[in-house]
Structure 1
Amino acid sequence: MKKRYLLIILFSVFVNLQGQIIKNTEQLKEKLIVINNQFEDSFLRNDSSIIIKYYDDKQPVCMPEYHKALYTKQDIKSYYQQWFSNFKINAYKKVIYEVKQIDNYAIEIGTFNINSANKKGETLIYDGKYLNVWKIEKNVKLTLISEIWGADKAIDGSNFSFIKTNSNEIPKPQIEKFLENEVNKRNQRIAELVTNREGEKHADEFFTKDAIYLTYDSPMFIGMENIKPYFVEHEKPNGVSIDSISIKASRMIPLHNFVIEYGYYYVDVSWDNKKGRAIVTGKSTNIWKRDENGILMLYRQMVNHN
């Protein structure tokens, strides 16, 4: 009888905790909607102060499309000020797709739509998706640790060429060496698969079944059923040769079965028997999750070009 009552009590506690988690996630999403409304207003008023206010003071990471990553609030502020001083934002909307809470961090994924005009009066429609990492402080205060975004379809990067940024050294990981080595080995394996143009293996070996992949010039790909076909098509040889590739990790945040990683890539590509050549550089925000065997798999990943 005592065991029965104990089971009932434990079950009740579990149900309450589950309800609490769901409730907290919903509250978190509501707070993010309020913040996004403030961001939208900031864009419409060409005022970066609200955005900068939310950024982390110590180790912020901003990964704008068509530019290298920014690591200080001053550099991030300068980036936004230059953007706003050269464009009139006529309409701006952010829509949250999902919010995932991992310990005292929140991963926010969503879409954005920007209708703007440059100083010449030329219209720029910039529609895309984003991935933000927030730290949940005491009293549910939210601090923006990082943001990355990218267009749903190709737009001319020269639209943003007027923005000048400082050339900063990529920060090194400050975590336990074994974890740094583990992530580096996973990145080396990705480099091998990309070099060999093995898209199907790339998807199978690295993404969870319920992963979300956000990449350049494409809408978000949700679930393996959409991620795998993308990689199969994207990594077909088609006369393209990967002559050199480097994938490196910068800052990392270990969170039990998860690791938040900020990564950077350099790819030397050639085609038509090396008659054509291009250097492609970019960056990513990676949310790794350990599977049942303890292997780090990509749970959420967003990539964009410099």
Structure 2
Amino acid sequence: MRHLTTTVLFFLFLFKAYGQFKSKGKKFDKALIAGQIEPIQKITTPDAFFLLEGQRTLSGPEHLQQYYTALFKEQEIKSLERNTLETIELGNHVIEMGTFNKNFIRKSDKMEITHEGKYWYIWKKVKDEFLLFSYVEGYHKELSRNEYVVIDTGIEPENKGTIELKAYAALGEKAIREWNPELRIPMYTDDAIFYPFADTAKVGIDVLAPYLIGYHQNDIQIDLIKSQPFAYQYFDCYVLQFSTFEVDWRFNETSGTNKGKGITLWKRQPDHSLKVYRKIGSHNDLNP
């Protein structure tokens, strides 16, 4: 009977929480369409991280003020539809993942543009309500530079991971530096979902493994790679990690640098190791 009562209470909590953060999500979208910044700030935590495609990591109300002022100056959002694919409850955090379709008018030339992509909300319970602790937005294809807004603002986070997280970061660096998919693939669970840059979600290892093998096929030389956790939280069976990356590469006569950020949800395995359960990444624009 005690087990049944606990289960019922858990689902009641989840049902109540779901209604609350879905309501907050609607407020977020309504504010985007209305071009209003204050409602966005009201539903976010003071230390919120926004990881947006092309933009360095934003944190806190001042960054949100600067970014959305620039966004609303350039974009008049006409419609925004979301499709929630998955919700994961982690203690006082809830991760909501899905896809979106956004239609807007670019004010500079009155062009109508539609974007399709993926998003993550991370809601955090603060006292008796859920607030937005992190928001990630990426696209299903690479966009032209004039299709998105970037400002020269963002945090430069330091490497603050635990010894465990730094070790896995080093392993990931080694796999990419040596262009070795056989080292990288076992880092994911069989039911992992990866939301990569400029692409749709890769669901399950049967899809993800060929994707990673294809990623490693080109004869690219890696001169520098850094992957640094900058914020994290441990839960019973999971670790939520925020990180940045930087890669200097060469291919024939061409060279370049990629920088970006992402979120990894690690899942603890029976042998106490960690494997990637959910992951999303996006690039930074180097010339905002």
Q: Which of the five TM-score ranges fits, normalised by the shorter chain?
A: over 0.9
User: Would the alpha carbon gap of residues 207 and 84 (structure 1) be closer, same or farther in structure 2, given more than 3 Å must change?
Assistant: same
Task: Identify the match of residue 223 of structure 2 among 238, 243, 250.
Answer: 243
Percent identity, aligned pairs only? 20
Q: Report the secondary structure of 1:68's partner residue.
A: coil
Give the number of aligned pairs.
283
Quote the RMSD (CA, aligned, Å): 1.7
Q: Distance in 2 between matches of 1:123 and 1:149?
A: 20
> Does the CA-based 8 Å contact 2:63-2:154 persist in structure 1?
no
Residue equivalent to 1:44 = 33
Correspondences of 1:174-185 after superposition (within 5 Å): 180-185=162-167
Residue equivalent to 1:157 = 145
Counterpart code for 1:168:
I
Task: Identify the match of residue 90 of structure 2 among 95, 102, 110.
Answer: 102
Residue equivalent to 1:293 = 271
Q: Answer yes or no: is 1:234 the counterpart of 2:215.
A: yes
Q: Distance in 2 between matches of 1:232 and 1:200?
A: 8
C-alpha deviation, 1:105, in angstroms: 1.0
Residue equivalent to 2:64 = 76
Q: Distance in 2 between matches of 1:171 and 1:104?
A: 25
Residue equivalent to 1:9 = none
> Which entry has the higher C-alpha Rg, 1 or 2?
1
> Does the CA-based 8 Å contact 1:200-1:228 persist in structure 2?
no
TM-score normalised over the length of structure 1: 0.87
Between structures 1 and 2, the one with greater strand share: 2
User: Would the alpha carbon gap of residues 16 and 292 (structure 1) be closer, same or farther in structure 2, given more than 3 Å must change?
Assistant: same
Q: Which moved more, 1:163-172 or 1:63-72?
A: 163-172
Q: Distance in 2 between matches of 1:242 and 1:291?
A: 31
Q: Report the secondary structure of 1:60's partner residue.
A: strand
Between structures 1 and 2, the one with greater helix share: 1
> Does the CA-based 8 Å contact 1:36-1:94 persist in structure 2?
no
Q: For 1:263-288, what per-residue CA distance to the aligned partner results, in whole angstroms no more than 9, with x for missing partners? A: 0110111111xx11010111011111
C-alpha deviation, 1:169, in angstroms: 2.7
Q: For 1:131-165, what per-residue CA distance to the aligned partner results, in whole angstroms no more than 9, with x for missing partners? A: 222112333x012111111001121133235x323
> Does the CA-based 8 Å contact 1:187-1:247 persist in structure 2?
yes
Counterpart code for 1:214:
Y
Q: Answer yes or no: is 1:219 the counterpart of 2:195.
A: no
> Does the CA-based 8 Å contact 2:59-2:154 persist in structure 1?
no
User: Would the alpha carbon gap of residues 157 and 41 (structure 1) be closer, same or farther in structure 2, given more than 3 Å must change?
Assistant: same
Correspondences of 1:1-306 after superposition (within 5 Å): 12-57=1-46, 59-119=47-107, 120-139=109-128, 141-161=129-149, 163-173=150-160, 180-204=162-186, 206-236=187-217, 238-272=218-252, 275-306=253-284
> Does the CA-based 8 Å contact 1:75-1:165 persist in structure 2?
no
Unaligned runs of 5+ in 2: none
Counterpart code for 1:85:
K
> Does the CA-based 8 Å contact 1:40-1:92 persist in structure 2?
yes
Q: Report the secondary structure of 1:56's partner residue.
A: strand
Q: For 1:3-40, what per-residue CA distance to the aligned partner results, in whole angstroms no more than 9, with x for missing partners? A: xxxxxxxxx32233233333433332222222222122
> Does the CA-based 8 Å contact 1:290-1:297 persist in structure 2?
yes
TM-score normalised over the length of structure 2: 0.92
> Does the CA-based 8 Å contact 2:21-2:131 persist in structure 1?
no
Q: Report the secondary structure of 1:279's partner residue.
A: strand
